[in-house]
Structure 1
């Protein structure tokens, strides 16, 4: 089986979408699936066989992310020559749209992974955000209904899309992770290296940006730090808004209580999970929240906000807590878990157990089965 991947995000840019693509590619390759990629070009990246890069420009609101110009007269020819059986698109825009249109033209099944609640990113629009939200929501649904199948990371997201009018075939397939690096990492490294011995460490991992609700995180943590001594928030991740949040932490009097680590390569992230005591992730824009699975694998209880992605990833009162969008309520749950050692230990044990549902081997098998079924019956 040969699959063509069309994605607006790929290396050297790093994101949850990129990590998802890499993990499925790694596992499905073991099952004999071959991949070719249609992705944005970044600078002078060396050409690789099977990777077709499109001229791209930096996004106005994020210079690290490049927008591909999805124009080529060779795509259809390339897909025929490569004898592609199936197209997997990871965005409803630009290259994703090109992949969908080409698949329909060549009568090749098209799978779309609904990675993101796209309408929740309209804060990047300079104006008419209400209109932009409505148009984006309508457009993504229309795009999804023109695909052979839509992959939803959680049952909650599938229910949401069905309520909006999703008619095409759908499947719930979370992005899996390699559990071992998170469960086997050195738990003493973080506090020793950062000089945090004797302190309770809360961890955030993700893009440091408005859509991850970082303002809310800092405001909540200010309450936590005012109630507890020797507690530190470690923030792993980068983004164009990083200086803004560093300044905000200072303004909130958290200069000594928040450590911004910046972006890290994926292989270095597990050691941060392993050394923390609690995982904080109040984003309300996730379709899954892969970081919750990583936290579970490391045995970290999590505190999230009741939203689409987190509701399917955090079992409230079992391996973490979910709260409303209220900084004080959020802080109270954080304080409870930091103070109650026995409860935190119980949640930690439950988190490790529940992490098994997100092993990369299990989720890749679900994806492979979907691919196979579409080749047998693409119109079901």
Structure 2
């Protein structure tokens, strides 16, 4: 099959959506299909075969994100030249809308992955968030109901979309994990790199530094943990617009010496070493449709304590590979301390976390996606 994927975000921008596109593209191509990406242009992008860029402008609320100009003269001819069989959109907006219009114009099957709970991101709209939420929900509902198939990363999200009035055919296919990336971590790297003693407990959170990730709650939870467990350390790893705000917050809490903020893009091996050197993964976002990052932590054997909302609730198996909590710093801290203060429990959860990760290999999930495509084409 020849597949065209349209997305409003792609490398060098880093996000869960971008990671999902990258993994599915790689695995689908391994299965013998051709996948072409249509994405915004960035100033520091590298040229990549099969990736077509649209002129773009810098987003006013995030200087690291580009907004594509959704004017597409010639895109239909490009799809004909590439002999595209199917269009898969990863956003309902700018380029997703271009992809959908082009698919309808050329009578191609249209697939959409609902990566994001868009109505929970209206804090990026400076005025009238209530109105913005209603408009976004209506727009997304209409977009989905024009698709031949809507992919959701989890069944929890599929249920939520049905309740919002989306009646298009729907299938839950999670973003998989490239398990070989996590097979040989350097378990001692983190402690060597930062001079961390064997008695110290390391808590890790990997997330985009954006308001929706609730990293202020992570810092507050760590403040409570550190009060009862003074030898604990917190690592926040990611990039995003809230980095300086987080540094200021940690300093104001008197935690500057115990909190390390790693605000740069890391290689997959280095990120794996951060996972492998930690004792616990903590996560507070409530907007996730899946939470790929949780699967990555589990693949290296990290127990997870996370707020049990939306897609995350399906990624953590309560009491098996971690704990799900209420959306509060106190609940996160309490459950984290249960694990950190019981090494036998931590080791058991660690072993079982690896078992959970093995259930969603990227090869298996890409095969499911390819089968869904093939059913549409029939």
Normalising by structure 1, report the TM-score.
0.97
1:118 maps to what in 2?
Answer: 118
What pairs with 1:156-175 in structure 2 (closer than 5 Å)? 156-175=156-175
What pairs with 1:219-230 in structure 2 (closer than 5 Å)? 219-230=220-231
Give yes or no for contact 1:183–1:299 (8 Å, CA) kept in 2: no
Q: Residues 294-341 of structure 1, C-alpha deviation per residue, up to 9 Å, x if partnerless?
A: 011010000100100111000111111111112112110011110011
Tell whether 2:174 aligns with 1:154.
Answer: no
Give yes or no for contact 2:68–2:94 (8 Å, CA) kept in 1: yes
CA distance in 2, matches of 1:323, 1:291: 17
1:318 maps to what in 2?
Answer: 320
What pairs with 1:298-313 in structure 2 (closer than 5 Å)? 298-313=300-315
Give yes or no for contact 2:185–2:272 (8 Å, CA) kept in 1: yes
2:211 maps to what in 1?
Answer: 210
Q: Residues 263-291 of structure 1, C-alpha deviation per residue, up to 9 Å, x if partnerless?
A: 22341211110110000111101000001
2:351 maps to what in 1?
Answer: 349
- SS of 1:64's equivalent in the other structure is strand
- In the TM superposition, residue 232 of structure 1 has moved relative to its aligned partner by 0.4
2:139 maps to what in 1?
Answer: 139
Normalising by structure 2, report the TM-score.
0.97
- SS of 2:323's equivalent in the other structure is strand
1:237 maps to what in 2?
Answer: 238
- After superposing the two structures, state which structure 1 stretch, 53-62 or 264-273, moved more: 264-273
Tell whether 2:21 aligns with 1:21.
Answer: yes
**Structure 1 vs Structure 2 CA RMSD:** 1.2
Q: Residues 1-31 of structure 1, C-alpha deviation per residue, up to 9 Å, x if partnerless?
A: 1001101111111111111111111111111
- In the TM superposition, residue 44 of structure 1 has moved relative to its aligned partner by 6.2
- In the TM superposition, residue 227 of structure 1 has moved relative to its aligned partner by 0.9
1:248 maps to what in 2?
Answer: 249
- In the TM superposition, residue 47 of structure 1 has moved relative to its aligned partner by 4.7
Q: Residues 103-122 of structure 1, C-alpha deviation per residue, up to 9 Å, x if partnerless?
A: 01111001101111111111
CA distance in 1, matches of 2:58, 2:103: 27
2:187 maps to what in 1?
Answer: 187
CA distance in 1, matches of 2:159, 2:263: 35
- In the TM superposition, residue 251 of structure 1 has moved relative to its aligned partner by 0.7
Q: Residues 24-57 of structure 1, C-alpha deviation per residue, up to 9 Å, x if partnerless?
A: 1111111111022211111264555432211101
